Amino acid sequence: MEQKIHQGRNVKRFREMLGIKQEALAFDLGNDWNQKKISLLEQKDVIEDDMLKQISNALRIPVEAFQNFDEEQAVNIISNTFNDQSNGYNYYPTFNINPVEKWIEALEEIKRLNLELLKSKDEQIKVLEKLLNVK
């Protein structure tokens, strides 16, 4: 038994994925639309092609997405595609950081900053000496 694709439910799913409220979609579709009409539209099994084109333009999603998206097929594809190693989550992460190298880098940075501080202090002393010699 072939399951029909529910276009209204697909409109609702894509709208929700985009974070768009029914009122906002109604506003984008025109003055004769309101939240209640969008709610009724999302309950329809089949939506007229011209209406799908308007919704497509408003949501910036291809018409084919509303006509062909089947959630069960998508879930099956995802569940059959991903396993423990391919889901993008690494259970045993490896860190390529050598703590000794990082410690040495930090020490070098401290040395560099101390030298800059000493240079700055010497320059300030010279400026103060000049001011004292002028008076």
Q: Which pLDDT score is estimated for 17? A: 87
55 burial type by CB count under 10 A (0-12 exposed, 13-18 middle, 19+ buried): buried
- 14: which 2 tokens? 């894509």
Q: Which pLDDT score is estimated for 114? A: 95
Average pLDDT over residues 102-121: 93
Q: Which residue has the higher pLDDT, 96 or 30?
A: 30
**Percentage of the chain modeled with pLDDT above 70:** 80
Helix, strand, coil percentages in the chain from 3-state DSSP, rounded to 5:
65, 0, 35
Instruction: List the one residue out of 68, 79, 48, 56 whose CA is nearest residue 4.
Output: 68
pLDDT, one tens digit per residue, over 15-54 is 898 899 999 999 999 999 999 999 999 999 999 999 999 9
C-beta separation of 31 from 48 below 8 A: no
**Percentage of the chain modeled with pLDDT above 90:** 46
Q: Which pLDDT score is estimated for 26? A: 94
1 pLDDT band, cuts 50/70/90, is: very low
Rounded to the nearest integer, the mean pLDDT of the chain is 83
Query: How far apart are alpha carbons 117 and 134 in whole angstroms?
Result: 26
Q: Which residue has the higher pLDDT, 1 or 43?
A: 43
Residue 79 has pLDDT above 70, yes or no: no
